[in-house]
Amino acid sequence: MNSLLGQADLAVLLGTWVGIVVGLLIFSAIFGDHWLARLGQHILVGVALGYAAVVTWQAMFALSFVQGLLANPAGDIIQWIPIVLALLLVIAGGERILMQGEGGAGSGSRRWLRWLGVAPAGLLIAAGIAIASLGVLQGTLLPQFWRAAQTGFQWRAAPEPFLTGILTLLITVSALIYFGVDPDRHLSRQPRWIASFIRGWIWFGQRAVWLAAGAIFARLIVSRSSLFIAFVEGIVASFMTTGIGNTILTWWQMITGAL
């Protein structure tokens, strides 16, 4: 039992030091693009891909239909379809990776291997688009529309929610017009007052999009700053856990006390 605890403590210690070293290597990218920073990035990407592969492998074999096929391979032929599509995608992806260094299209016997991945890749893209579209419709657009239709326009509402609703409506409509209307193509044959009115909406929508992009960028900076603070705190806590931090702190107190 003591040996197992000692091995666990050693693994935690090694993991802490590896995390500190890799984190410092990646953080050194702020001083320029050098081989140490690239080494840290490659280690991070490799570990992430390896972890994702292990989790995917375990999750795939934990599925009920995979366990059923392993128990009875000839039980249900339809359940083999996702496995066959996955194998086709892996074969096509492997062929694509091997062809990157050759600079050519490859022979005919290898080109058809690449086309094997078209069907599963197309199904993945189509399913992703369908799920995202249904999620937007069911989770955002339709609930907002029905809520607005049931509530109506409350003229006697308090000033703050009233102005918020008006501003939200203006920004949404102007952003949709900015993305959907091409002034040169759609407004060339319109009367001047209509063209001027729509161009004003487009101008307002463009500024609204800029404002939204600025807010998103500001939130990104705040989130990255929070991650950096958490990273520094993690390094300090790791040093304290390994005992080096207490030693450095003791030496620092001794030096400052001597001075």
Distance CA 107, CA 115 (A): 13
1 pLDDT band, cuts 50/70/90, is very low
162 pLDDT band, cuts 50/70/90, is confident
Biggest distance spanned by C-alpha atoms of the chain: 87
Confidence at residue 121, expressed as pLDDT on a 0 to 100 scale = 85
- Neighbouring C-alpha atoms within 13 Å toward the C-beta of 256: 6
Residues whose CB falls within 8 Å of the CB of residue 36, separated by 6 or more in sequence, listed in order: 25, 28
Backbone angles phi, psi at 220, to 5 degrees: -65, -45
Distance CA 15, CA 10 (A): 8
- Residue range 152-163: mean pLDDT, rounded: 70
- Based on the fold, state whether residues 148 and 167 are members of the same structural domain: no
Minimum mean pLDDT range among 63-72, 80-89, 128-137, 247-256: 63-72
Mean pLDDT of the chain: 77
How many Cβ atoms are within 10 Å of 40's Cβ, its own excluded?
19
> Which amino acid is present at 251?
W
Indicate whether 76 belongs to any domain. no
- Based on the fold, state whether residues 112 and 132 are members of the same structural domain: yes
Of 101, 119, 152, which closes a domain? 152
- Based on the fold, state whether residues 176 and 250 are members of the same structural domain: yes
Domain containing residue 32: 1-62
* % of the chain surpassing 90 pLDDT: 3
Of 91, 125, 152, which closes a domain? 152
- Based on the fold, state whether residues 124 and 165 are members of the same structural domain: no
Residues whose CB falls within 8 Å of the CB of residue 171, separated by 6 or more in sequence, listed in order: 205, 208
- Based on the fold, state whether residues 165 and 252 are members of the same structural domain: yes
Handedness of CA 116, 120, 126, 132 (dihedral sign): negative
- Based on the fold, state whether residues 143 and 172 are members of the same structural domain: no
Burial of 65 from C-beta contacts in 10 A (0-12 / 13-18 / 19+):
middle
- Based on the fold, state whether residues 147 and 166 are members of the same structural domain: no
Q: What is the Cα Rg of the chain in Å?
A: 29
DSSP letters for 140-163:
IIHHHHHHHHHH---TTS-HHHHH
Minimum mean pLDDT range among 50-59, 89-98, 151-160, 214-223: 151-160
Place of tokens 């990255």: 224
Indicate whether 77 belongs to any domain. no
- Joined together, the tokens standing for residue 13 give 């210690």
* % of the chain surpassing 70 pLDDT: 75
Indicate whether 67 belongs to any domain. no
Confidence at residue 106, expressed as pLDDT on a 0 to 100 scale = 55
When divided into structural domains, the chain yields a total of 3
Indicate whether 75 belongs to any domain. no
Distance CA 127, CA 121 (A): 10
SS percent in the chain: helix, strand, coil, step 5: 85, 0, 15
Indicate whether 186 belongs to any domain. yes
Indicate whether 34 belongs to any domain. yes
- Based on the fold, state whether residues 144 and 171 are members of the same structural domain: no
Indicate whether 74 belongs to any domain. no
SS3 state at 190: coil
Question: Which tens digit of pLDDT belongs to each residue from 191-246?
Answer: 888 888 888 888 988 998 999 899 999 998 998 888 888 877 877 776 666 666 66
